[in-house]
């Protein structure tokens, strides 16, 4: 694996995804998660209660400042224009979002681009532009209404077998006890929303993932 891909794969180990709909105190939750071992953060502001416009940008900038102080990459979900405006470290897009080739052209070669894939064909289309792929839902999830079919680690294994060096993140309903198997099946890291954001003790919940 080339050094930059190796470094990126390591950075994906514990990828926390959160927005205001996921927790009452998003800044407090994210700061605690950063203190307790999160290695990458994605601002995913979606749903009925989600912020938009100036409030969304202000929250994004506050979260970006937090991530910078912990030297953790700050990725924005879906909103490429916001990512460009505030010079985020990267963007994550899905199959229903802007085309990966178009996003790559807009953000340039030095920003992170993550792409969600649900089939080998989608993975094949993503690899020319994406720095990493998100594969899931591995387990049933409450964090995304349109998450698609639960697939365990089947596709993670298939994508790993086909693309030995492509950084892969597993996502969807993941708990600490799932992590060893997900990594063994080929993922470089796991993405977590509610197991941390909805935990009564965010520090303990994060540490349970980070110590693995």
Ligand X SMILES: Nc1nc(C(F)(F)F)ncc1COP(=O)(O)OP(=O)(O)O
Positions marked catalytic: 44, 116, 144
Task: Please give the helix or strand (H or E) that residue 37 lies within, else none.
Answer: none
The dihedral built from the CA positions of residue 208, 77, 61 and 101, taken in this order, carries a sign that is: positive
Is residue 46 a known part of a binding site? yes
Q: Which of 5, 12, 131 is nearest to 72 (CA)?
A: 12
Q: Distance between CA 199 and CA 23 in Å, rounded?
A: 9
**Minimum distance from CB of 114 to ligand X (Å)?**
5
Residue 70's Cα: distance from chain center in Å? 17
Q: Distance between CA 156 and CA 103 in Å, rounded?
A: 24
Q: Which is nearer to ligand X, 36 or 170 (CB)?
A: 170
**Among ligand X, Mg ion, none, what binds residue 46 when CB lies within 5 to 8 Å by partner kind?**
ligand X
Q: Which is nearer to ligand X, 140 or 200 (CB)?
A: 140
# residues contacting Mg ion (CB under 5 A): 3
**Minimum distance from CB of 168 to ligand X (Å)?**
8
Among 9, 12, 33, 78, the residue binding Mg ion under the rule CB under 5 A is 78
Instruction: By CB under 6 A, name the binding residues for ligand X.
Output: 15, 17, 42, 44, 46, 77-78, 92-94, 97, 114, 116, 134, 144, 169, 171, 191
Q: Distance between CA 26 and CA 170 in Å, rounded?
A: 23
CA angle, 47 as apex, 43 and 53 as ends, to 5°?
A: 65
**Among Mg ion, ligand X, none, what binds residue 42 when CB lies within 5 to 8 Å by partner kind?**
ligand X
Q: Which is nearer to ligand X, 4 or 200 (CB)?
A: 4
Is residue 95 within the footprint of Mg ion (CB under 5 A)?
A: no
The dihedral built from the CA positions of residue 204, 56, 171 and 6, taken in this order, carries a sign that is: negative
- State whether residue 183 is helix, strand or coil: helix
Q: Which is nearer to ligand X, 83 or 169 (CB)?
A: 169
Question: Would you state the structure tokens that stand for residue 130, as one six-digit string?
Answer: 């994406």
**Among Mg ion, ligand X, none, what binds residue 189 when CB lies within 5 to 8 Å by partner kind?**
none
**Among ligand X, Mg ion, none, what binds residue 111 when CB lies within 5 to 8 Å by partner kind?**
none
Question: Would you state the structure tokens that stand for residue 13, as one six-digit string?
Answer: 């180990």
Is residue 77 a known part of a binding site? yes
Is residue 94 within the footprint of Mg ion (CB under 5 A)?
A: yes
Interface ranges with Mg ion (CB under 5 A): 78, 94, 97
């Amino acid at each position: 694996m080339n050094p930059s891909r190796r470094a990126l794969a390591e950075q994906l180990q514990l990828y926390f995804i959160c927005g205001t709909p996921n927790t009452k105190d998003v800044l407090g939750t994210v700061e605690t998660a950063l203190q307790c071992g999160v290695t990458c953060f994605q601002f995913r502001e979606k749903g009925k209660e989600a912020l938009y416009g100036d409030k969304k940008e202000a929250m994004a900038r506050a979260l970006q400042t937090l991530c910078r102080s912990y030297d953790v990459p700050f990725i924005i979900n879906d909103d490429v224009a916001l990512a460009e405006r505030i010079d985020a470290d990267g963007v994550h897009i899905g199959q229903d979002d802007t085309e990966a080739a178009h996003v790559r052209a807009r953000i340039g070669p030095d920003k992170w681009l993550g792409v969600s894939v649900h089939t080998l064909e989608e993975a094949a289309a993503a690899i020319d532009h994406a720095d990493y792929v998100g594969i899931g839902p591995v387990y049933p999830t409450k964090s995304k209404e349109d998450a698609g079919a639960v697939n365990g680690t089947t596709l993670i294994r298939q994508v790993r077998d086909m693309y030995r060096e492509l950084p892969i993140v597993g996502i969807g309903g993941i708990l600490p006890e799932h992590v060893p198997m997900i990594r063994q099946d080929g993922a470089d890291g796991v993405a977590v929303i509610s197991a941390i954001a909805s935990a009564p003790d965010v520090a303990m919940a994060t540490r349970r993932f980070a110590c693995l």
